[in-house]
A and B are shown apart, each in its own frame.
Chain A
């Protein structure tokens, strides 16, 4: 990697990391409203009008005013309502499957596609150039082309 490429990658990484760090230190209610679930209606907080959702919004506002980070607020909510209050499942235990299954599905799909392409190419290579794969088909094709020429 050249010095210039390294510099560009480093600047891009910093540009992407800065908003994430700011969001962690100074979260907003709007941000947390789509990262937290309403425990009774199982909807995102931003979509819920349940009484407990109103109470959670008030709690988040209070904690933001108190200077809590996003992680601290989420941790407090988890201690009250359990991990199901988070919109994204934690990356451990049974919930890890929610993260792993899409990746496994992607890997399995890629394997199947690669296998199909490999078979198709192997099949194409088996028929030598210049010789028809099916003599009957070639005969019928010649006949129909001859009809068109006529």
Chain B
């Protein structure tokens, strides 16, 4: 009786640990697929818009290539690349490209001030807890993924500030697919 109880307890603990470990596995899968030159479905999410106007679901952008950029107002490299992203959003809008900013682990008011200061007009959603960033396997700021029209992550996973060349190369890649 006691042994059965102890075994049940150990089994329950292992099951819970398994759930916790494997629930965060999407990001590692994404990076592994990209490293192998393959594509992987971008984890879907629905997050509130920074401007307070409802929510935005990633899936709703199917049919558009997407530059998915995670940032925070306190992140210095995010300031360096903000202008590049805004410029790309305007330049490639006619091609159907969408730049989607995800403000993570940040105060709402700080993020709004940042968006205003850098004149960001592309859609921005909020991931206050950083759980969406973690789901993608992101560990720092800024981090950028490129999604094709079918919602697959393709090309590079850029950790750190984007350069003009790197951004242009990856945008050309998603537009060509």
Contacts and interface: CB of A to CB of B under 8 A. Distances in A.
Contacts of A80: 106-108, 128
A78 B128 CA distance: 9
B74 A82 contact: no
Interface residues of B, number: 19
A81 B129 contact: yes
A82 B128 contact: yes
Q: Which of A39, A59, A101 has the most CB of B within 10 A?
A: A39
B80 interface: no
A111 B9 CA distance: 13
Interface string A88-111: 000000000100010010001001
Nearest to A58: B107
Given A39-B105, A55-B107, A97-B16, A82 B131 contact: yes
B176 interface: no
A52 B75 CA distance: 9
B5 A39 contact: no
B2 interface: yes
Main SS class of interface, A = helix
B67 interface: no
A55 B129 contact: no
Nearest to A104: B9
Interface residues of A, number: 21
Nearest to B107: A80
Contacts of A127: none
Given A84-B129, A97-B16, A40 B2 contact: no
Given A52-B105, A81-B105, A111-B2, A39 B74 contact: no
A133 interface: no
A51 interface: yes
Contacts of B131: 82
Contacts of A81: 105, 128-130
Contacts of B6: 108, 112
Nearest to B105: A39
A115 interface: yes
Interface of A: 39-40, 51-52, 54-55, 59, 79-85, 97, 101, 104, 108, 111-112, 115
| A-B CB proximity, top 9 nearest | A82-B129, A51-B74, A39-B105, A81-B128, A80-B128, A52-B74, A40-B105, A80-B107, A55-B74
26 contacts: A39-B105, A40-B130, A40-B141, A51-B74, A52-B106, A54-B74, A55-B107, A55-B110, A79-B128, A80-B106, A80-B107, A80-B108, A80-B128, A81-B130, A82-B129, A85-B129, A97-B16, A101-B13, A104-B9, A108-B5, A108-B6, A108-B9, A111-B5, A112-B2, A112-B6, A115-B2
Interface of B: 2, 5-6, 9, 13, 16, 72, 74-75, 105-108, 110, 128-131, 141
Given A39-B129, A80-B107, A82-B131, 10 more contacts: A39-B105, A40-B130, A51-B74, A52-B72, A54-B74, A55-B110, A82-B129, A84-B129, A108-B5, A115-B2
